[in-house]
């Protein structure tokens, strides 16, 4: 079909006695191809690779000793610990929620389904600052629940729970959004087959549904984790910026930078950038090792 | 296809287990350290430029407190625009002590959260201000635009950097100092003062939320011809980036800035930190701390404890106080910075009256 279409476009008389040979999908000249490739690489280099390299260059500007010294600072250690803690809470929560939401949306019909999809998308469309402010307005001392929380000596905003809440809020869509299109495309026939053969609902989910989406799920988790660790805006609003207590890594980078401590600022930034690189490498490895399975899950 | 998938079932399980284990390890390692019996933690919520000062003072205080009581104390600090910090305390940030840029912000905490009594400012010497400062200009090396006084900032083509008076205490002092200058020069004509201050703010390409943000805009990003800032911030920038990169210019008239400190009664009683928090505030008036303040370019309330060489660095513009010119913070705040006050009139485009065709100027507008 596409073979014929390509023939028609290139003006070859259809049905002529010609050898069957694969034709290139695009027929640009070599110069044009070189230009397109150079543009793409140049763009990537300028906007992705260069800033990333700059982070590491700045971090190592005064030698590896200075770089490592940054991490001896207890405030920096506390920031790293807090960020890891927050991610360790937010990511599993979103894994469970994202998987169940995607499963519900893709495999079942129920009233309010489109409302659920819209709700999942809200954190994408709301500015992170607003997401943070919502929690201050809800749980702050002057907020709706403020007096009740104060009476029970519960601290939500300007403490770790607030930071976790804000992070969970902004990362809600990542896992679900990665899974929904794939699961919808896969349909329910395999599950139906499993159920017909007598498998229980749970077994069907664990042995049919889950394996079918494993790569998309892992990819969603990687993205979710990167965002959870890197979130600045929403966390900034609910953090209070008390160093050693409520300061996450991205906030700590800003503080160090504002204190003219550029090496330390970029050193902490390099960890965040390193995380991005690890995510990238993990993704590439997955694609290389399990290209077929991933390719199938990328059909949508 | 089905069978192919079934064979791979084992792998994701292992992956899930790995992720789970990783998550657990992170949580286990990431717990917030529990308070030990022999140590206390104070939270000092401060304004923007005091980062270096309080790092030095906190160390000195911890040493002194340990020598006196045997208890180790960690003072945690948070820095940001003074108004924003006050807002955070009102919204529930548990600060044992607040050390903000101006009395008005602590008044706001007392008024809106009732976490400390309205008469807080009388509880410590010198209006609860262990040091004062003033407002000066930082210009590029050699002062290429010839900036000498407040009216130079209103000249067309001068790019002025100042933070936003709505969020920054320093910016409110900047604004009031300019106002006081024109009021003094014109013999008390508030209309002329409004014109001058309006013209200065029309020359501002970026309004940062705090003093340090404005300094980095001027110093690091190289935007603007002049930075209006705290004297201490100007000296610090000069020190950090080497003398010769910038010049400090004192206007003919400036304002005495009084950044006060206060105990947040409700928080220290809840956390049981009253004794150490009170000692911390008292310590700010002790010779050691007073000397450190002068070393960090603040004007100590008790200059006799400071190194005379540190004091000799300061310039001597004619200084007025907020009480003399504006009748105190409560009045200045209501008249100039409250919603619908003079600043809103000067600053917002298309205001109904009295703007004299002010061109649009939006917060955060990056370029002109």
Q: For residue A216, give every residue at least 6 positions away whose Cβ sits within 8 Å of its Cβ, in sequence order, or none.
A: A178, A179, A182, A297
Question: Regarding predicted confidence, which is higher, A24 or B91?
Answer: B91
Nearest Cα neighbor of B86 from B131, B45, B127 is: B45
Confidence of residue A21 (pLDDT cuts 50, 70, 90): low
Candidates B91, B209, B213, B269: best to mutate against A (most CBs of A within 10 A) is: B91
Average pLDDT of the residues of chain A? 85
Whether residue A56 is predicted with pLDDT greater than 50 in this model: the reply is yes
Task: Tell me the three-class secondary structure of A120-134, residue by residue.
Answer: HHHHHHCCHHHHHHH
Q: Per CB distance under 8 Å, which residues of A are interface residues toward B?
A: 81-82, 84-85, 87-89, 91-92, 95, 136, 139-143, 146, 150, 153, 155, 157-158, 160, 190, 193, 207-208, 210-212, 214, 218, 221, 240-245, 255, 257-260, 293
CA-to-CA distance for A291 and B181, rounded, in angstroms? 72
Q: Which residues of B touch A96 (CB under 8 A)?
A: none
How many interchain CB pairs under 8 A, A with B? 103
Residue A218 CB: number of other CB atoms within 10 A?
22
Contact A211 B12 (CB under 8 A): yes
User: What pLDDT shows up at residue B36?
Assistant: 39
pLDDT tens, A271-299? 988 887 887 788 788 777 766 655 555 54
Question: Regarding predicted confidence, which is higher, B201 or A19?
Answer: B201
Beta strands in chain B, from DSSP E residues, in sequence order: 39-46, 72-79, 97-99, 131-140, 160-161, 226-230, 246-249, 253-257, 261-263, 299-300, 318-320
Q: For residue B361, give every residue at least 6 positions away whose Cβ sits within 8 Å of its Cβ, in sequence order, or none.
A: B201, B202, B204, B347, B349
pLDDT tens, B5-48? 444 444 445 544 444 444 444 444 333 333 434 789 999 999 98
Q: Which residues of B touch A153 (CB under 8 A)?
A: 270
CA-to-CA distance for B253 and B38, rounded, in angstroms? 50
User: What pLDDT shows up at residue B27?
Assistant: 42
Q: Which residues of B touch A258 (CB under 8 A)?
A: 51, 79, 212-213, 216
Q: Which residues of A touch B19 (CB under 8 A)?
A: 95, 221
Given a contact cutoff of 8 angstroms between Cβ atoms, the answer to whether B80 and A237 are in contact is: no
Candidates B10, B21, B30: best to mutate against A (most CBs of A within 10 A) is: B30
Shortest Cα–Cα distance, B244 to chain A (Å): 18
User: What pLDDT shows up at residue A297?
Assistant: 52
Chain A residue closest to B53 (CA)?
A259
Place of tokens 């690189």: A277
Whether residue A9 is predicted with pLDDT greater than 80 in this model: the reply is no
User: What pLDDT shows up at residue A28?
Assistant: 76
User: What pLDDT shows up at residue A20?
Assistant: 65
Contact B78 A241 (CB under 8 A): yes
Which residues of chain B fall below pLDDT 70? 1-37, 348-368
ipTM score of complex: 0.75
Whether residue A178 is predicted with pLDDT greater than 60 in this model: the reply is yes
CA-to-CA distance for B283 and B293, rounded, in angstroms? 12
User: What pLDDT shows up at residue B368?
Assistant: 31
CA-to-CA distance for A193 and A189, rounded, in angstroms? 6
User: What pLDDT shows up at residue A47?
Assistant: 86
pLDDT tens, A67-107? 998 899 999 999 999 999 999 999 999 999 999 999 999 88
Burial state string for B287-298 with b = 16 or more CB within 10 A and e = fewer than 16: ebbbbbbbbbbb
Among the ranges given (A38-42, A70-74, A219-223, B17-21), the one the predictor scored with the smallest mean pLDDT: B17-21
DSSP for B270-317, please give it: HHT-HHHHHHHHHHTTSHHHHHHHHHTT-EESSGGGS-HHHHTTS---
Look at the pTM and tell me if it is higher than 0.80.
Answer: no
User: What pLDDT shows up at residue B79?
Assistant: 92
């Amino acid at each position: 079909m596409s073979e014929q279409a390509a023939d028609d476009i290139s003006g070859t008389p259809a049905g002529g006695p010609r050898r069957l040979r694969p034709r290139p999908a695009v027929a640009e000249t070599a110069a044009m191809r070189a230009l397109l490739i150079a543009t793409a690489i140049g763009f990537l280099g300028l906007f992705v690779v260069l800033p990333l390299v700059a982070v590491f260059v700045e971090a190592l500007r005064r030698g590896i000793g200075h770089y490592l010294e940054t991490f001896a600072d207890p405030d920096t250690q506390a920031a790293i610990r807090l960020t890891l803690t927050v991610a360790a809470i937010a990511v599993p929560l979103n894994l469970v929620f994202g998987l169940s939401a995607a499963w519900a949306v893709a495999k079942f019909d129920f009233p309010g389904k489109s409302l659920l999809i819209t709700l999942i998308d809200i954190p994408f469309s709301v500015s992170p600052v607003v997401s943070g402010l919502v929690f201050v307005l809800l749980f702050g001392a002057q907020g709706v629940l403020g007096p009740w929380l104060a009476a029970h000596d519960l601290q939500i905003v300007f403490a770790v729970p607030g930071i976790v809440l804000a992070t969970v809020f902004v990362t809600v869509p990542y896992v679900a959004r990665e899974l929904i299109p794939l699961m919808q495309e896969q349909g329910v026939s395999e599950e139906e087959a499993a159920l017909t053969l007598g498998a229980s609902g749970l077994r069907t989910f664990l042995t049919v549904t889950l394996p079918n989406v494993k790569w998309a799920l892992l990819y969603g988790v990687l993205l979710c984790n990167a965002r959870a660790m890197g979130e600045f805006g929403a966390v900034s609003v609910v953090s209070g910026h008390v160093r050693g207590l409520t300061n996450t890594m991205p906030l700590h980078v800003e503080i160090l930078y504002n204190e003219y401590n550029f090496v330390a600022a970029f050193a902490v930034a390099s960890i965040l950038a390193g995380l991005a690189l690890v995510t990238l490498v993990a993704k590439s490895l997955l694609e290389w090792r399990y290209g077929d399975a991933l390719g199938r899950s990328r059909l949508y | 296809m089905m069978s192919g998938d079934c064979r791979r079932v084992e792998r994701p399980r292992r992956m899930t287990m790995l992720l789970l284990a990783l998550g657990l390890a992170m949580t286990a390692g990431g717990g917030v350290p529990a308070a030990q019996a022999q140590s206390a933690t104070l939270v000092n919520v401060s304004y923007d430029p005091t980062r270096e000062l309080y790092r030095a003072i906190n160390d000195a205080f911890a040493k002194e407190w340990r020598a006196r009581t045997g208890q180790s104390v960690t003072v945690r600090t948070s820095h940001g625009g003074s108004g924003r910090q006050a807002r955070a305390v009102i919204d529930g940030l548990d600060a044992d002590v607040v050390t903000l840029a101006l009395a008005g912000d602590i008044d706001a905490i007392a008024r809106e959260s009732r976490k400390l009594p309205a008469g807080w400012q009388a509880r410590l010497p010198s209006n609860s201000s262990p040091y004062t400062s003033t407002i000066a200009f930082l210009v590029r090396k050699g002062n290429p635009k010839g900036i000498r006084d407040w009216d130079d900032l209103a000249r067309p083509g001068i790019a002025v950097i100042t933070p936003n008076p709505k969020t920054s205490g320093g910016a409110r002092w900047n604004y009031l100092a300019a106002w006081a200058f024109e009021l003094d020069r014109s013999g008390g004509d508030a209309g002329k003062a409004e014109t001058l201050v309006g013209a200065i703010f029309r020359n501002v390409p970026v309004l940062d939320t705090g003093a340090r943000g404005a300094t980095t805009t001027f110093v690091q990003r190289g935007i603007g011809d002049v930075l209006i800032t705290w004297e201490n911030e100007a000296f610090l920038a000069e020190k950090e980036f080497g003398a010769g990169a910038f010049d400090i210019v004192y206007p003919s008239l400036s304002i005495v800035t009084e950044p006060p400190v206060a105990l947040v009664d409700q928080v220290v009683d809840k956390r049981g930190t009253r004794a150490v928090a009170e000692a911390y505030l008292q310590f700010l008036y002790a010779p050691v701390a007073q000397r450190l303040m002068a070393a960090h370019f603040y004007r100590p309330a008790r200059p006799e404890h400071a190194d005379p060489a540190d004091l000799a660095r300061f310039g001597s513009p004619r200084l007025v106080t907020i009480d003399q010119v504006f009748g105190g913070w409560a009045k200045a705040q209501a008249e100039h910075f409250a919603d619908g006050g003079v600043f809103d009139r000067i600053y917002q485009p298309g205001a109904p009256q009295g703007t004299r065709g002010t061109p649009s100027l939006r917060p955060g507008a990056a370029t002109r």
